[in-house]
């Protein structure tokens, strides 16, 4: 009996995995498992929350730090950088010195043109040299430079000569003389340049009316400065000194009286219109006491006390 033919079975082909969807196909994107998509969302959402929490905490800590430091920075700026008149306090000790008589002053002539300030003609007269020596010994008697000092003269010839005499008498090295090139220039009197010294009384009469009145202008290069102009210059000078030095002694040497009288009026809060009441004679020395006006110059009334110079009324 014949056996039926047996057809050999073909082994099944291995199943191929389904093709991976292409990332650029929007339809393939929908074939992703919703569970897997949700899981990824949760993970990324958690990372977002953690990053947000970190940045928020960092911002908050920085804000608190700046809030704590800001008052200190504000106090330091008020104390050191932004000098106001009258000041709440002074970091340094100050002595104000008017240079001795100049050659022009000995002739009775007004000379305030800054072009000639370094000329020998703007130097000390013979009488002015004696006045400078006297002021140097007066500073020594006051103990101004016993522990060292810095001498800040105008670059004007007579001021710098006086500074050298002060340094020699008080044993101060020339390296401690710091010439000032603009803030201590003699007050420019405009058309009064070359006139008799007695004409200054006319300028002071205008000063007594308003701090903003200027002497008549001229075309020879001499500035015509009001009291307010001088006040701006000496305030800038004090801002530099109070920022650059700390607990030092500064000797300011000016070629004229107005720089010093306006400065002292500002320091003590006197109405700047009355600065001439604090005028300095050639060679005069004065210690700055911001708490009071010198007794021999005490104003007759407190009505003119000014707490916001030069805006006085």
The pLDDT of residue 199 is above 90: yes
pLDDT at residue 26, as a whole number: 42
pLDDT at residue 122, as a whole number: 87
Phi, psi for residue 284 in degrees, rounded to 5: -75, 145
pLDDT at residue 210, as a whole number: 95
What average pLDDT does this structure show over 263-285? 94
Cβ burial, residue 143 (10 Å; 0-12/13-18/19+) = exposed
pLDDT tens track for 78-108: 444 578 888 888 999 999 999 999 999 999 9
pTM of the shown model: 0.70
Mean pLDDT computed over every residue of the chain: 80
pLDDT tens track for 121-152: 889 999 999 999 999 999 999 999 999 999 99
pLDDT at residue 272, as a whole number: 95
pLDDT tens track for 238-268: 999 999 999 999 999 999 999 999 999 999 8
Helix axes 157-170, 126-141, angle to 10 degrees: 40
Complete DSSP assignment for the chain: -PPPPPPPPPPPPPPPPPPPPPTT-HHHHTTS-HHHHHHHHHHHHHHHHHHHHHHHHHHHHHHHHHHHHHHHHHHHIIIIIS--SS-S--SSEEEEEE---BHHHHTTB----GGGTTSGGGSB-HHHHHHHHHHHHHHHHTTTTTT--EEEEBSSHHHHHHHHHHHHHHT--GGGB--BSSTTPPPPBGGGTTSBGGGHHHHHHHHTT-TT--PPP-SSS--B--HHHHHHHHHHHHHHHHHH-SS-EEEEEESSSHHHHHHHHHHHTB-GGGGGGG---TT-EEE--TT---GGG--S-GGGB-SSTT---
């Amino acid at each position: 009996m014949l056996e039926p033919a047996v057809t050999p079975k073909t082994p099944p082909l291995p199943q191929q995995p389904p093709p991976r969807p292409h990332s650029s196909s929007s339809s393939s994107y929908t074939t992703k498992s919703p569970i897997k998509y949700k899981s990824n969302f949760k993970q990324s959402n958690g990372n977002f929350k953690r990053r947000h929490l970190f940045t928020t905490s960092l911002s908050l800590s920085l804000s608190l730090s700046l809030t704590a430091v800001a008052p200190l920075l504000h106090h330091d700026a008020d104390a050191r950088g932004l000098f106001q008149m009258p000041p709440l306090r002074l970091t340094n000790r100050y002595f104000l010195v008017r240079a001795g008589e100049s050659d022009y002053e000995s002739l009775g002539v007004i000379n305030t043109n800054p072009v000639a300030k370094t000329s020998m003609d703007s130097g000390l007269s013979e009488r002015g040299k004696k006045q400078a020596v006297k002021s140097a010994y007066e500073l020594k008697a006051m103990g101004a430079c016993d522990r060292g000092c810095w001498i800040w003269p105008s670059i004007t010839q007579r001021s710098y000569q006086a500074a050298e005499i002060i340094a020699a008498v008080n044993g101060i090295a020339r390296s401690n003389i710091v010439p000032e090139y603009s803030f201590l220039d003699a007050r420019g009197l405009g058309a009064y340049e070359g006139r008799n010294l007695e004409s200054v009384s006319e300028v002071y009469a205008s000063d007594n009316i308003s701090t903003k009145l200027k002497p008549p202008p001229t075309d020879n290069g001499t500035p015509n400065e009001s009291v307010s102009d001088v006040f701006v210059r000496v305030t800038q000078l004090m801002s530099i000194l109070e920022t650059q030095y700390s607990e030092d002694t500064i000797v300011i040497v000016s070629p004229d009286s107005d720089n010093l009288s306006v400065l002292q009026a500002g320091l003590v809060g006197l109405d700047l219109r009355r600065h001439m009441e604090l005028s300095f004679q050639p060679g005069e020395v004065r210690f700055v006491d911001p708490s009071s006006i010198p007794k021999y110059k005490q104003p007759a009334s407190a009505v003119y006390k000014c707490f916001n110079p030069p805006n006085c009324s």
